[in-house]
A and B are shown apart, each in its own frame.
Chain A
């Protein structure tokens, strides 16, 4: 466990370094009028205050809600892309919240059991949605790409990492069932993990060892995903709701509005 916690800390550190480098990028070109004398820290604080004031306005929060949760804009633009998004993002959030955090909670004494019917069924349903969404995304990108689809290596890394996450998660569950033994009736709720365990059983591996390997594969895939996020196109899960909120708000800071705005009090993004 110590190794896992160490790796988690490393992944989070890489994530934070990425997030910081993005924030630096966003501010790297700024040279507000009259900035000459202002120190960078003061400028940064000012930028942050304008950004936070914008983000906390009720209108912005509303747009963030609709676009972050139900992805209204994606729905408007393409139903298939929306389905891909909804399945991937909701299942991802669900697996993270219930699966990972639930496990932590159980470690700290919360009355949660992995074989609880709802817990097992939820995890498997989310994994199914994730894999279905990924299947659609892979098909859309690699089998029937539209004329304007452009694919680079990053697209593959993102999709493969997510697929690895989902598949290894199911294998972890199957391995655990084989290692600990679960009755068919209880296994019925793990409607993917249990059949998978039955399919793997004839292999007659040492499941104590194999389950450990599978668990590490899943853990490393999850941590790689977290670490890679800010460097990949997946950072759009954070930036898109913000750019959409900015676009839908006529009074948002923008070069056009800046012309009439008081430049000293509204430096972002003057």
Chain B
């Protein structure tokens, strides 16, 4: 398993030499200060502080480097940069939701998301500088196997509330498909309908599916985006081992962050990984789900980790267009420049107000679109957006794509 996560990322090193690659150092140098990333960044829009956007982070990191490494810097700062300078840098870096939107705006092609992630890696991994709640979440994941500090054996409680749960599903030892549920869907009451809906869809489609229940551990995403990639290895090893003993050749996810993490960090060349939207599109294409024509204006919001993260923009749109046809409306902006819901980058752990304020922009866009239903493909996006819409007393409904398929789809086996 060694080597999956760059080894040097796992080193706890406080000598000042951090985990930036030469390419990333070049990127720090290549920033033209054009400010396009400020235009892209909703965290900056809310906070009005440049240090939360890439331009400011780059500027601060370069300054720290100059203070600590350059000849003049060392003369002026014999003890290195001050703790305050590092703290200010940390505050900015941990206010970024890692949505990656600025990457779509940067005219010189800086990989902003990876750069911001590496900054976290340097702060949290190499310097142990991180928000307090990230430290608590880290302990929770390492000790309990989930980010919420709940007993992990309660992970599949949402399934136990389902009426049509087949006997023996939870203890199944072999299956063709593993449904990896993820922490938010498993434990957050606000979105428990999402895994319930997806499991129902899988069962209606006669898929030989299993859950790991209490043996499912956090995929590692919250640690990786927190800058603690080394700690995620334990999760990766455990989940991979459980998958192998189940013998499944396909893993399905309703959470794009789990899907992203498995796709990028798990050593699985021979296993097919599918997001729920891709799985549902396959059912639509095979004629196993059909939708009646409808006159409900529907829109779709691209989750960051599914769209910009995994490049999947088409699958959910194909499903929705097969239902709504001309009543499907795009949000503006959408696709690769889609707005962030605010709930990414672990920021909700230490700054929930920022998350809500960021979401305001997305909710505005949804209201502007004229849609009566906004479909999302991420439990975290749904949780945050639903809350915002409720606060506004809006009549617009939010549904996850799995709930949408269950509510509006006709399953062939069911109807024939």
Question: Which residue numbers of A lie inside 8 Å of B, CB to CB?
Answer: 22, 25-35, 47, 51, 73-74, 77-78, 81, 146-150, 152, 155, 233, 235-236, 239-240, 242-248, 252-256, 258-259, 263, 268-270
Provide the bound-state CA to CA distance between A33 and B108, in Å: 29
Is A268 a contact of B22 with CB atoms below 8 Å? yes
Most-contacted residue by chain A among B28, B39, B111 (CB, 10 A):
B111
A267 CB to closest chain B CB (Å) equals 9
Most-contacted residue by chain A among B22, B35, B69 (CB, 10 A):
B22
Ordered by A's residue number, 23 sampled pairs between the chains whose C-beta atoms are within 8 Å are: A27-B22, A29-B17, A29-B21, A29-B24, A30-B25, A32-B8, A81-B107, A146-B35, A147-B39, A150-B50, A233-B32, A236-B30, A239-B29, A239-B108, A240-B32, A242-B26, A243-B110, A246-B109, A248-B109, A255-B24, A259-B265, A269-B21, A269-B23
Provide the bound-state CA to CA distance between A235 and B100, in Å: 25
A25 proximity list for chain B (CB < 8 A): 25, 28-29, 65
Other than A150-B33, A244-B108, A270-B8, give 12 A-B pairs with Cβ distance below 8 A: A22-B29, A26-B26, A30-B20, A30-B22, A31-B13, A31-B19, A150-B55, A239-B26, A243-B26, A255-B24, A259-B6, A259-B264
B104 CB to closest chain A CB (Å) equals 10
B202 CB to closest chain A CB (Å) equals 29
Provide the bound-state CA to CA distance between A87 and B107, in Å: 18
B110 proximity list for chain A (CB < 8 A): 243, 247
B8 proximity list for chain A (CB < 8 A): 31-33, 35, 270
> Which B residue's beta carbon lies closest to that of A264?
B3
Q: From A34, A74, A148, A269, give the contact of B107 (CB < 8 A).
A: A74
Provide the bound-state CA to CA distance between A12 and B412, in Å: 75
Also in contact, A73 and B107, with CB within 8 A (given A239-B26, A258-B6)? yes
Is A255 a contact of B7 with CB atoms below 8 Å? no
B233 proximity list for chain A (CB < 8 A): none
Provide the bound-state CA to CA distance between A27 and B20, in Å: 9
B105 proximity list for chain A (CB < 8 A): 77
Provide the bound-state CA to CA distance between A205 and B264, in Å: 73
Provide the bound-state CA to CA distance between A207 and B42, in Å: 59
Is A243 a contact of B3 with CB atoms below 8 Å? no
> Which A residue's beta carbon lies closest to that of B21?
A269
A242 CB to closest chain B CB (Å) equals 7
Provide the bound-state CA to CA distance between A80 and B36, in Å: 14
Most-contacted residue by chain A among B11, B32, B114 (CB, 10 A):
B32
B18 within 8 A of A: yes
**Chain B 1-15 per-residue mask, 1 if CB under 8 angstroms from chain A, else 0:** 001111110010100
Provide the bound-state CA to CA distance between A35 and B7, in Å: 11
B367 within 8 A of A: no
> Which A residue's beta carbon lies closest to that of B110?
A243
B406 within 8 A of A: no
Provide the bound-state CA to CA distance between A248 and B110, in Å: 10
> Which B residue's beta carbon lies closest to that of A51?
B22
B26 proximity list for chain A (CB < 8 A): 26, 239, 242-243
Provide the bound-state CA to CA distance between A243 and B110, in Å: 6
A236 CB to closest chain B CB (Å) equals 5
Also in contact, A152 and B33, with CB within 8 A (given A28-B69, A248-B109, A259-B264)? yes
B36 proximity list for chain A (CB < 8 A): 77, 148
Is B6 a contact of A270 with CB atoms below 8 Å? yes
Is B30 a contact of A269 with CB atoms below 8 Å? no
- Scan residues 33-75 of chain B and give those whose CB is less than 8 A from a CB of chain A: 33, 35-36, 38-39, 50, 55, 65, 69
Provide the bound-state CA to CA distance between A74 and B24, in Å: 21
Question: Which residue numbers of B lie inside 8 Å of A, CB to CB?
Answer: 3-8, 11, 13, 17-30, 32-33, 35-36, 38-39, 50, 55, 65, 69, 105, 107-111, 114, 118, 264-265
Is B109 a contact of A33 with CB atoms below 8 Å? no
B264 proximity list for chain A (CB < 8 A): 256, 259
Also in contact, A240 and B108, with CB within 8 A (given A22-B29, A33-B8)? yes
> Which B residue's beta carbon lies closest to that of A30?
B22
Is A255 a contact of B25 with CB atoms below 8 Å? no
Provide the bound-state CA to CA distance between A198 and B270, in Å: 79
A28 proximity list for chain B (CB < 8 A): 17, 25, 65, 69
> Which B residue's beta carbon lies closest to that of A26?
B25
Is B108 a contact of A73 with CB atoms below 8 Å? yes
B114 proximity list for chain A (CB < 8 A): 254-256
Also in contact, A255 and B30, with CB within 8 A (given A74-B107, A243-B109)? no
Q: From A33, A152, A269, give the contact of B22 (CB < 8 A).
A: A269
Q: Which 6 A-B pairs have the closest CB atoms?
A: A269-B21, A247-B109, A148-B35, A239-B30, A33-B7, A269-B22
A253 proximity list for chain B (CB < 8 A): 21, 23
Is A235 a contact of B7 with CB atoms below 8 Å? no
> Which B residue's beta carbon lies closest to that of A24?
B69
B28 proximity list for chain A (CB < 8 A): 25
A258 proximity list for chain B (CB < 8 A): 6, 21
> Which B residue's beta carbon lies closest to that of A242?
B26
> Which A residue's beta carbon lies closest to that of B11?
A31
Also in contact, A255 and B17, with CB within 8 A (given A73-B109, A152-B33)? no
Most-contacted residue by chain A among B4, B23, B27 (CB, 10 A):
B23
Most-contacted residue by chain A among B11, B35, B50, B265 (CB, 10 A):
B35
Q: From B18, B108, B109, give the contact of A29 (CB < 8 A).
A: B18
B107 proximity list for chain A (CB < 8 A): 73-74, 77-78, 81, 240
> Which A residue's beta carbon lies closest to that of B25?
A26
A149 proximity list for chain B (CB < 8 A): 35
Is B50 a contact of A255 with CB atoms below 8 Å? no
Is A259 a contact of B4 with CB atoms below 8 Å? yes
